[in-house]
Chain A
């Protein structure tokens, strides 16, 4: 291995000279390459399996990652990247790939009814069984074991008999021979393989338990058709490639595949129980912008998202700065006070939010009750949109003003005090000094953090979801319900993971892309302010 300069000079950023590190000893080399080989084998194996399951994107990502890892480890000039490869692998798989995959999902109809590929959906529907009229039919007798398991003795029309246990192949039996005597008039034994024949009333009581059971294996499933008849189950849905349709064999109706919407649709417009996953182009996006039921609330949600982030930052910054200004000294009192102020910041956010939720509860929450008892009226936090929004801002003020107090304390100490002396000489009063000197200087330091906090609150899912679940609900919105205090991200996840209604991942992803773009724009301004781009070296 070429042992050219093993040393990285302390050098200005324009020095892009690459060097090989010539210090690998053989053992390390073997270990490292062995690790890489193992990683690549696992990744390719996973990629292959995932591809077969119908996710080529993940498969390609995994393959690219392992090719990348192999290249990094075989090329000498890439040695510095070996140091960061675990991080880069994780970044690629868990941050970058999910972003691209989100974009892909946004262009598909992926949702609860459309989760599978066409083949998988057809196969799944094939598992729905029905008992066809005029199919093979048996007379049945039922047996029960000590453990309460059931089995059937089936007699076909041609006289051949079978013993059927769930999930086992049918076992041919012979009347008056199989099992243990005594045999009844039909030649059916009283006990067989540990099962006991049920007769008379017991037989009919058992019917309740066994009427929906499947006996035999999936290849030859048997079910109870009526009080006297059992029959062979058959797949209710069968795919007919010639018509590109699934046939409902119970009603003999073809449901034609519509490859642009991912549904199987019958002539009368009804759809089969399962659709499949297809690209649907811009439909999710046009749905955002056109459908009134969606667009109406979306605009209100968007406005509130901005308002919430703005007022949260404004109020918390104002309070945090005020406290920091008043405590801008090193006395013991100020130190104790600041320690107390840190407590809200230290308590896990989820717990704080739930405490507030309890205190604001209209049925016995301490704040509501106290106001009620004092003034005879309490703000309807849970039902009035305005008061709900006020409550959310108040809770967020509590959660985040300590953060601003801390950073303002730090920033105030960084301001050069000589400027105040100069201002004193010029006869500036207290408020002039604050508005003309302190605040502008402070904003230079904490400005980027204010924008970061704005971005954070723009995506503040936890507070919105845990405090009021987005409530109170907006009137006239379709399922899933949209609330007055929902922000973009909680609104999105109501579509993706909401308990009510079907989960529409495609639509949720389309909104997520929208949020990505918003965050991107805000970050751009943040970087402009911090000049971080120029700082990179």
Chain B
């Protein structure tokens, strides 16, 4: 259930007028020190990876925080150059694969789930409660637990429907879609529940069908919320790694995460510079997006979505 948290701004703000006692000043100093340490802890890896992506040595062991041996702008872009122009590294293709998989599965899963959630929200029918509970129950078992069975499923379907087989993006999308119903139905049902039923009823009185009511009235109303859900679903799929690594075996078919992982996966391989540059390209848009959408994230989190 989407429990709306009531914002009461300035709750803990103290009256600023009274002068601070020595005890309070010490407490404030401790607080600032603590927050300072947290900031360093949080930001250090981020700064480090940014530095690494511009560091021309491209090796973890010789990296310094301020890139050394930089004589020109081109030196700073060595990693990006080798990442984007190396024929052995189909970086653009990986990005394309990731986008393809994430966009298709997001659109399909939001469409499918919204339909189901609307029906759960508006219609009363036999078996509704047990269906809802089934959906709720099933979603708690992570699908990587069934990974063996999923792998075999694609293996067995593949010979007959090639684009849904192993090493195919269609197969991976299919696997992602399987979990979609479980994850978002409850969240979306909450959204639909918050739209007044009077809207449906007046439309029906005017002779609209359920479908017309849904498509022309309710769906446009919840579209902004669905857009946010879709965005998180997109980011989640784009970042997914475990299933993609199992299902996709060819370098050309890899998604971006699988490709990036491969730069540093071996215990002794050190494509640190390429990994850093690729990570920066992959993470920056998402980070900016999250910063802009902070308030929606909090809403989604309290509704029970856990980052996967």
- A: residues with CB less than 8 A from B are 6-11, 13, 15-18, 21, 23, 45-46, 49-50, 53, 55, 58, 77-78, 80-81, 83-84, 86-88, 90-91, 93-99, 101-102, 105, 319, 322-323, 325-330, 337-352, 354-359, 361, 363-366, 398, 402-403, 406-407, 409-415, 417, 445, 448-449, 452-453, 455-456, 459, 461-462, 465-466, 489, 493, 496-497, 505, 508-509, 512, 515-516, 519-520, 523, 526, 532-533, 535-537
- Give every chain A residue within 8 A of B287 (Cβ-Cβ): 342-343, 346-347
CB of B132 within 8 A of CB of A95, answer no
**A84-B115, A347-B286, A350-B261 are contacts. A355–B197 as well, Cβ < 8 Å?**
no
CB of B126 within 8 A of CB of A18, answer yes
- Give every chain B residue within 8 A of A96 (Cβ-Cβ): 138
CB of B294 within 8 A of CB of A413, answer no
Cα distance, A23 to B306, chains bound together (Å): 40
**A7-B201, A462-B241 are contacts. A351–B260 as well, Cβ < 8 Å?**
yes
B31 in contact (CB, < 8 A): yes
B112 in contact (CB, < 8 A): yes
Cα distance, A505 to B9, chains bound together (Å): 55
Cα distance, A95 to B135, chains bound together (Å): 10
CB of B129 within 8 A of CB of A536, answer yes
- Give every chain A residue within 8 A of B136 (Cβ-Cβ): 532, 536
CB of B60 within 8 A of CB of A403, answer no
A404 to chain B, nearest CB (A): 10
Residue of B nearest to A404 (CB): B301
CB of A80 within 8 A of CB of B119, answer yes
- Give every chain A residue within 8 A of B178 (Cβ-Cβ): 90-91, 93-95, 98
**A94-B178, A96-B138, A328-B11 are contacts. A58–B156 as well, Cβ < 8 Å?**
yes
CB of A95 within 8 A of CB of B260, answer no
B257 interface neighbour in A49, A350, A363, Cβ under 8 Å: A350
A373 to chain B, nearest CB (A): 13
**A-B contacts at CB below 8 angstroms, number:** 331
A41 to chain B, nearest CB (A): 13
B144 in contact (CB, < 8 A): yes
CB of A509 within 8 A of CB of B148, answer yes
12 pairs, CB–CB < 8 Å, chain A vs chain B = A9-B124, A11-B124, A83-B118, A87-B112, A87-B115, A91-B138, A95-B146, A323-B35, A342-B287, A346-B283, A509-B148, A512-B145
A476 to chain B, nearest CB (A): 22
**0/1 interface trace, chain B 205-241, chain A, CB 8 Å (1 if under):** 1000111000000000000000000000000001101
CB of A347 within 8 A of CB of B283, answer yes
Cα distance, A42 to B10, chains bound together (Å): 61
**0/1 interface trace, chain B 237-262, chain A, CB 8 Å (1 if under):** 01101100010000000000100110
**A91-B178, A358-B60, A413-B11 are contacts. A15–B148 as well, Cβ < 8 Å?**
no
- Give every chain A residue within 8 A of B141 (Cβ-Cβ): 95, 99, 516, 519-520
B289 in contact (CB, < 8 A): yes
- Give every chain B residue within 8 A of A78 (Cβ-Cβ): 125
Cα distance, A99 to B304, chains bound together (Å): 23
- Give every chain A residue within 8 A of B182 (Cβ-Cβ): 91, 95
CB of A523 within 8 A of CB of B140, answer yes
